[in-house]
Amino acid sequence: MENTTLNKAKKPSFGLHKLLALSVLVILYVFFSIFGNNFLSWDTLINILNASYYIGFMAIGVTFVIITGGIDLSLGTTLMTSALIGGAAYNMLGWSIAASLVLTILTATAFGILNGVMVAYLKLPPFIATLGSQMVGMGFGAIVTKVMTMRYPTVGTEDAWFKYVFYMTDPNSPIGRFPVGALWLLAAFLVASVLLNQTRFGRYTYAIGSNREAARLSGIKTRRWLALIYTLCGFFSGLAGIFFAAAYTTIIPGTGNGLELLAIAGVVIGGTSMSGGVGSLTGTMIGVFVMSVLKQGLMSMGLQGHWQTFFTGIVVIGAVLLDNYRIAAANRVKKPT
Amino acid sequence: MAEILLQMENIQKYFTGVHALDDAFLSVNYGEVHALVGENGAGKSTLMKILNGIYKKDGGRIIYKGKEVEIDTPQQAQSLGIGMIHQELNLMPHLTVAENIFIGKEPLKGVFLDKKRANIEAGELLRSLNIEIDPAAPVNTLSVAKQQMVEIAKALSYNSELLVMDEPSAALTENEIQELFKFIRNLKNKGNGIIYISHRLDELPEIADRVTVMRDGQYIGSACMKDITKQQIISMMVGRTIYEEPKTKSSVPVDAPVVLDVRELTAGYNVKKVSFTLRKGEILGFAGLMGAGRTETMRALFGADPVESGDIFVNGQKVRIKSPSDAIKHGIGYLSEDRKGFGLAVGLSVRDNCVMTNLEEYTKNLLVDDKRIQEVTEEYIDKIAIKTPSTMQLVKNLSGGNQQKIVVAKWLIRNCDILIFDEPTRGIDVGAKSEIYKLMTKLTEEENKSIIMISSDMPELLRMSDRIMVMCEGRITGELDISEVSQEQIMALATMNM
């Protein structure tokens, strides 16, 4: 028995999935480089990165929630609603763009708090609580904006710096066209990784997901931490809202639902378990990029959006099947002890 | 002479390294209520699970209605006519009585359910048993006693002739028990055999014809109820030779200060005005049978469940404990009987589990200080001899004994002075057991910790405790000093209905 435990320790089952996801990413990239039309280019790479920002921010936030064993279905509409509210302040009230962005973040964080209170203190199942706030959010955004489309500054206007800072540098600037959004996403990923891996907040996220009752009996104030985790997720949806606005300029009321599923798909492809306790942000980022490589790659082969949806579905199912198989295999090894 | 319905002979059962049943024997006649008694872990449940096809026996014979039978699945047991009524009822609360009775064998009209016929047939069955219940009533509108009768009716709908009832009276009021007994006598008169498992020795003369006693997986003896006294049954239940030297006198100095004083603690349905004190360096044993309220008492004390009333004093100071984090602040740590459910996050590493109670201490500038966590984990791995290949090992890959040690480490790292061990050696092999004992002794004698130990293992209680509190049905029924205690005394107090 001693021996089996020793052997097990040498290969932690954790890294394997990330490795698999990463190799899927590489294989896809190579595949499309060979078979796609003009896939291997700076422009395509920029497109891949551009397609990842807002999904990436949502996916980072919801990774924390999913590690606790929960779910947040309100990501997509929180993104849109917060961007709408910020846009309304900018368009209708004449706020400065900076103040409007702060309002965007605050709105999204408020939705996070709402979710956190419902899940942690009112003990609603996360699925139901966040389904409710998804609908509330979507309606709220439309009501506040009187169902009018909100516009963020675009290139050539007075506030064009907004686009240069959050989306793409000025093509006429010394560095040329550079996807700054990617740097922001990288920064968010690094900060979130420190939070998840090197703070109490992160440890408790895993502890709650692994065994919430054991965590409570260890003196951890599980309700408070859980509420904070949902709040963080809301905050990241707000960031996603800013980057969505920077990329697409117009925000239309009554949209956004469905985006959360893309974020969740990215998390799942990255090996975070829906049953909680296991997961990583590196995996999540890989998962998000697998989806955008797929999107751009299929486009380069002349296949349109519905093909992308189709194949993303296959990848999600495949990733989870593979994970189940891996866990079953690991348990088979353990049996004799 | 009565005819034999069931005979289980020479039954053997091994669980990874543990000889759970050794030469177990049970014989039940037609038209007999046969009581099966023994301490927790005596092997009653294991024997019944073999009879019901849930476990496979490793040796011996089952003779049912004069023929040797092999029972591999609960379905086989059912088709032979062996019905099992578990302590936790297996009814679907939102379905009706008739739907529950006919679950899995619903009367059909073509492909559709024939609800009318189900109700009529269920009604007939219930009437034949003298049960007055509306077959169309949802089960959750019935009293517990009535639900139990529905469960029995369900078992009988498979033409069961042998019924196993596991603690049927445990959740019932006095009136309901009388109702149940009347019903059981009725069944008996129809020629059914009934195996009646109960901890309530006082009620056995009223309902049982014979009794079989088990202890440590072995058959001890059978007798007619009218020829045996409660005292005699108790000595059969506990009359083992104790191999390990029991403590003969308390090792706590007479002037040791009281560190914990609990007064009239009341909580939930199973903690009723519980009072006790714990002194510095003492190991206070809590004895009692399953459902005596010991775990519930400790969970309430620890703030894991809400307290209704009562006072708690720690080191002479009155304290309010509303959550586990309050209890921990006052230096109380709770080591749950259910390690995997409540004690550990088994999917996380040894290190993460060890500092789960005290991560604030190991945080520097908002960041978790992994270097110091590593150091303290290694220190305790050494100190209490945890066998793990590394501090990063996932806890689920360790043996039960080592998992238990990690739970201990967790509370020592938090520097708790009062440790509540709930069944500290359950599911742990013999070698690891004695290590846990050594550790507990060391904690009290060298580190001045005070320990409350809930245990259902009689030798363990006698070997470790300085003093023993006995509980039964939510109340303290006795307090015994180790110098004057006997197994018989403990068992008598543990079965004392107040």
Task: Give the residue with greater pLDDT, B156 vs A186.
Answer: A186
Nearest C-alpha in A relative to B357: A218
- Cβ neighbour number for residue B436 with a 10 Å cutoff: 20
Task: Give the residue with greater pLDDT, A19 vs B33.
Answer: B33
- Interatomic CA distance for residues B364 and A63, integer angstroms: 25
The model carries a pTM of 0.82
Owning domain of residue A88:
42-257+273-280
Torsion sign over Cα A214, A220, A222, A225:
negative
- Interatomic CA distance for residues A113 and A229, integer angstroms: 9
Is 80 exceeded by the pLDDT of residue B413? yes
Highest-confidence segment of B24-33, B85-94, B340-349, B382-391: B24-33
**Residues B196, B117 within the same domain:** yes
In a domain, A115, yes or no: yes
Is B133 in contact with B145 (CB distance < 8 Å)?
no
Q: Do A221 and B325 touch (CB under 8 A)?
A: yes
Nearest C-alpha in B relative to A1: B399
Highest-confidence segment of A40-49, B29-38, B480-489: B29-38
Q: pLDDT at position A1, please?
A: 34
Q: What is the mean pLDDT of residues B344-351?
A: 92
Task: Give the residue with greater pLDDT, B242 vs B369.
Answer: B369
Number of domains in chain A: 1
CA-based nearest distance A199→chain B, Å: 5
**Residues B181, B292 within the same domain:** no
In a domain, A8, yes or no: no
As a whole number, the mean pLDDT across chain B is: 89
Give the three-class secondary structure for A36.
coil
In a domain, A16, yes or no: no
pLDDT confidence band for B122 (50 / 70 / 90): very high
Is 80 exceeded by the pLDDT of residue A316? yes
As a whole number, the mean pLDDT across chain A is: 89
pLDDT confidence band for B41 (50 / 70 / 90): confident
In a domain, A329, yes or no: no
Q: pLDDT at position B243, please?
A: 57
Nearest C-alpha in B relative to A335: B397
Number of domains in chain B: 2
Quote the tokens at residue B218: 């072995």
Q: What is the mean pLDDT of residues B304-330?
A: 94
Residues in A touching B356 (Cβ below 8 Å): 203, 207, 214-215, 218, 220
In a domain, B387, yes or no: yes
| Count of alpha carbons within 13 angstroms of residue A41, beta-carbon side | 10
Residues in B touching A216 (Cβ below 8 Å): 304, 323-324
List, as one string, the DSSP characters of A248-305.
Answer: H-EE-TT--TTHHHHHHHHHHHTT--TTSS---HHHHHHHHHHHHHHHHHHHHTT--H
Q: pLDDT at position A26, please?
A: 92
ipTM, two decimals, is 0.79
Q: What is the mean pLDDT of residues B23-31?
A: 94
Of A5, A202, A203, the CB nearest to B398: A5
**Residues B371, B275 within the same domain:** yes
Owning domain of residue B460:
258-494
- Interatomic CA distance for residues B149 and B152, integer angstroms: 5
- Residue whose structure tokens are 């309304």: A88
Q: pLDDT at position B369, please?
A: 92
In a domain, A66, yes or no: yes
Instruction: Among B150-164, B171-185, B234-248, B468-482, name the one with the lowest average pLDDT.
Output: B234-248
pLDDT confidence band for A246 (50 / 70 / 90): very high
In a domain, A94, yes or no: yes
- Please give the helix or strand (H or E) that residue A168 lies within, else none: none
The pLDDT > 90 percentage for chain A reads 64
In a domain, B409, yes or no: yes
Q: pLDDT at position B465, please?
A: 94
Q: Residues B236-290: pLDDT tens digits?
A: 888 766 556 778 888 888 889 999 999 999 998 889 999 999 999 999 999 998 8
Is 60 exceeded by the pLDDT of residue B389? yes
Residues in B touching A206 (Cβ below 8 Å): 345, 348, 352
The pLDDT > 90 percentage for chain B reads 54
Is 70 exceeded by the pLDDT of residue A150? yes
Q: What is the mean pLDDT of residues A89-118?
A: 96
pLDDT confidence band for B396 (50 / 70 / 90): confident
Q: Which of these, A315, A299, A319, A292, lies nearest to A54 by C-alpha position?
A: A292
Question: CB distance from A9 to chain B under 8 Å?
Answer: yes
Highest-confidence segment of B99-108, B195-204, B279-288, B451-460: B279-288
Distance (Å) of CA B196 to CA A237, B86, B286, B461, B480: 60, 11, 27, 28, 31
Q: Do B344 and A278 touch (CB under 8 A)?
A: no
CATH of the domain at B441: 3.40.50.300
Is 80 exceeded by the pLDDT of residue A287? yes
